[in-house]
Amino acid sequence: MIKLLLFLLGAIVITGCATVSKISRSGYEEATHKVLSKNGNIQLRSYPDLQLVETSMNQGDGGFMRLFRYIDQGNSKTEKIAMTTPVFTQKNEGIETMAFVLPASMSSNDVPEPLDKNVRVRTRPTGLYAVYRYSGKRVDGGSNKAKRELKNWILNNDYEQLSDPINAYYDTPWTPPFLRRNELLIQVNKKQKKT
């Protein structure tokens, strides 16, 4: 009887967590992309130009609040901008950055300037990305398994790596790790056949 009650309580908690996670994730616009192929946890995606607001994470507060202030009227138009998913982080030549994707409805001409000099707006150009999806704790640069499997997939499918790994986080920090959607992205290009 006690085992049955514990099982039922566990099922209720898991269902409740899954519902909260689904609500928090589904309430936000996701960065536009097209899935070109899928193999287990790995997808090949095509992303259009993405308007990003970005900041360095090496300045004390990790960058999230700086970006949040930008979308919460801390911009030249004092306009509120909708939160989207995912939040991207990347380490490139020792500099770690965090970026929010701006809503797809905003053209580059519509994007207001940041009031904070440590925040910048940029366009990430159209590109192909190999993507590994996983749950669990957020790991800078992705888990070793994610990196290994993604790099093997790139190599075995005749692509070349064009970028350092990019982390993509879809859930709030308080989402239980086993319910989180995390991704590791690497920009790729099809290798040219030698003649």
Q: Which of 125, 124, 123, 136 is nearest to 170 (CA)?
A: 136
Are 119 and 66 in contact by the 8 Å Cβ rule? The answer is: yes
pLDDT at position 139: 73
Percentage of residues in the chain with pLDDT exceeding 90?
Answer: 65
Average pLDDT in the chain: 86
Residues found in the chain: 195
Write down the pLDDT at residue 136: 86
E runs forming strands in the chain: 29-30, 34-39, 42-47, 50-56, 84-85, 87-92, 95-101, 119-124, 127-134, 159-161, 166-169, 182-190
Q: Tens of pLDDT along 100-119?
A: 999 999 988 999 999 999 99
In terms of Cβ atoms closer than 10 Å to its own Cβ (0-12, 13-18, 19+), residue 101 is buried
pLDDT one-digit tens code per residue, 12-61: 444 444 434 334 455 899 999 999 999 999 999 999 999 999 999 876 66
Q: Which helix (H) or strand (E) segment is 79 a member of?
A: none
Work out the number of other CB atoms within 10 angstroms of the CB of residue 155: 12
Name all domains of the chain by residue range, CATH numbers in brackets. Answer: 2-46+126-190 (no CATH), 49-124 (3.20.80.10)
Q: What is the pLDDT of residues 66-84, one digit of tens each?
A: 999 999 999 999 999 999 9
